[in-house]
Chains A and B, each alone.
Chain A
Amino acid sequence: MSEKVLMKGNEAIAEAAIRAGCRHYFGYPITPQTELAAYMAKRMPKIGGTFLQAESEISAINMVYGVAGAGYRVMTSSSSPGVSLKQEGISYIAGADLPALIINVQRGGPGLGGIQPSQSDYFQATKGGGHGDYHLIVLAPASVQEMADLTAHAFDLADKYRMPTMILADGTMGQMMEPVSLPEETTSKVEKPWAVTGTNCEREHNIINSLYLVPEQLEKKNFERFEKYAKVEENEVMYEEYMMDDAEYCIVAFGIAARVSKNAITAARAKGIKVGMIRPITLWPFPKEAIAKAADKVKAFISVELSMGQMIEDIKLAEECRKPVVLCNRTGGMIPDPEQILKTIDTLIGGNN
């Protein structure tokens, strides 16, 4: 770990990607992730990499598909409306079993929405997003440090499982500055014998493809892919437990919502209310077991989200409706404040007494 520097979250992702060996970046301008592309535009030409402003989000993700097929680390970044456009390409990348990193610095929606922070692309990110049976590994940073660390981790996971990964951040995470120790340069090289680097007339041709016209073959391919996903669910779940040892109420929140929730927990505990938090770091795979375990001892869950309530469904599935789960949310670019979270907890306590 290097000396701490102050960086914007968007810039931390860019620098961490470069240090993870990413030399190819394709994007299209959109707020609030512009600093990321600007950083790449400045740095890539100096280190022999590619920065290309594509003609559209659709082209950008397909350029990513091309580089991923060639076996190189590659990424694109955007914000909600742009990520919707990328869904076609993401589905193809998943269907061709290619590693790639997609960054979504979310803003409010639907439609053109707004430019303020949001978490309302949770469903899109965690349930597939494009057409067909597939998943992304979805990582949700809650600090600039994690913007950097999870970017490096996301590249490793993408290569390990040959699948697309996503950093699901939001406008706050992208725009804020915090001290960050940037990860060291990666030196490890992953063998990719499947890549289309040219046969050199020494092997059968490799084909990067997601087309299987025989349904039995496509089904087999999908079954195999889901066996891989089962391994991801088994091995790659990440979450933080915060003051959960004696907690009677469990907040579940990620990203900026988790940061706000920490303030609420401090305030609640000052009043003698035992609140803790499970902060999913991987949104897919979701920390189901941690939630299920918490359901044994807490009285209720509070899902704090910058959406109309999306993650709350996964919480309910994980704890199998054994305890009440209430939503504390703002949407459209608004952020819940600690007082709103405290009020939600107060209402819960009132309801229990």
Chain B
Amino acid sequence: MVVFDKPKALTDAPLHYCPGCTHGIIHRLVAEAIDELGILGKTVGVAPVGCAVMAYDYFACDMVEAAHGRAPAVATGLKRAMPENVIFTYQGDGDLASIGMAETVHAATRNENITVIFVNNAIYGMTGGQMAPTSLPGQVTQTSPYGRDVKTVGYPIRVCEMLSALDGPELIQRVAVNNVKNVMAAKKAIKKAFQNQIDGKGFSLIEVVSSCPTNWGMTPSNALKWLEENMIPYYPLGVYKDRSAKEVK
């Protein structure tokens, strides 16, 4: 009996992520959603600049590598040219919420019919642990060595709360991958974000609160504990906007 099978939507390429990094889990959740919806052959993914930059090697669907922050614009082009295909972006916090904020907000307000997977680990991982737009107040990073001082660099951005203020988007939801229960919920949310696109409902963004043991300077298990105690209180999990659900009511 097969108890573990690699999703078809993942290639055989070995992942380059650090030990304890949650990108591997999130890749798998995305791949499982693609498999279960039977859309592998028509899916095109857009990889970011950041730790997931090489996602184009890991997902078995057609892939595009975008410039830093531009994935929603690239995805807009792909979707407008190929409305029958399924287009998703996979972006980190620096990519989506800092350099690419304009692209994010405008794709959302246009209700662009794409799926956005937003991995929030409160740090720039690829470049070695700099302060991110989602780094917590007081959080020590390479570029906030004395802790994030909100008086000089401002407060973290809560992306879901902000985007849910727009009339445009279909689904805005925050999940986490710190325990089995949350991973299951994340899986469900990601699948729904793809299903929404298939149903023509529009912009669906799933923020996945995740960890970065390497740059947080913690063991993987301590990182998950820190996530639970610090990240989730600042970034509460839940559905921030679900237009279809509202219509049902």
Q: Interface on A for B, CB 8 Å cutoff? A: 24, 26, 50, 52, 54-56, 58-60, 62-72, 74, 88-89, 92, 96, 196-202, 205-211
Contacts and interface: CB of A to CB of B under 8 A. Distances in A.
B85 A198 contact: yes
Nearest to B62: A196
A262 B43 CA distance: 55
B205 interface: no
Contacts of B41: 198-202
B103 interface: yes
Contacts of A74: 77, 81
Interface stretch (B65-73, B132-140, B214-222): B65-73
B78 A62 contact: no
Given A72-B81, A199-B40, A62 B73 contact: yes
A67 B77 contact: yes
Given A67-B81, A69-B74, A88-B67, A59 B102 contact: yes
B56 interface: yes
A3 to B, nearest CB: 32
Interface in B43-88: 43-44, 46, 53-54, 56-57, 59-67, 70, 73-82, 85
Contact of B64 (A52, A54, A60, A69): A69
Interface of B: 11, 40-44, 46, 53-54, 56-57, 59-67, 70, 73-82, 85, 102-103, 105-106
Interface pairs A-B: 10 shortest CB-CB: A66-B77, A62-B73, A196-B62, A63-B77, A55-B106, A62-B70, A198-B42, A201-B41, A66-B74, A59-B73
Contact of A196 (B44, B53, B73, B105): B44
Given A198-B85, A205-B60, 5 more contacts: A24-B81, A62-B67, A67-B81, A196-B63, A211-B54
Given A56-B102, A66-B77, A199-B62, A209 B56 contact: yes
A21 to B, nearest CB: 13
Contacts of A50: 80-81
Contacts of A197: 44, 62, 82, 85
Interface centre among B41, B43, B77, B82 (most CB of A within 10 A): B77
Contacts of A65: 64, 66-67, 70, 73-74, 77
**Most interface-central of A67, A69, A72 (chain B CB within 10 A):** A69
A60 B76 CA distance: 10
Contact of B76 (A52, A201, A209): A52
> Which of A197, A202, A210 has the most chain B CB atoms inside 10 A of its CB?
A197
Contacts of B81: 24, 50, 66-67, 70-72, 74
A346 B149 CA distance: 68
Given A24-B80, A199-B41, A201-B41, A62 B103 contact: yes
A54 B65 contact: no
Contacts of B11: 205
A74 B74 CA distance: 13
A63 to B, nearest CB: 4
B78 A67 contact: yes
B75 A208 contact: no
Contacts of B60: 199, 205
A202 to B, nearest CB: 7
Contacts of B102: 55-56, 58-59
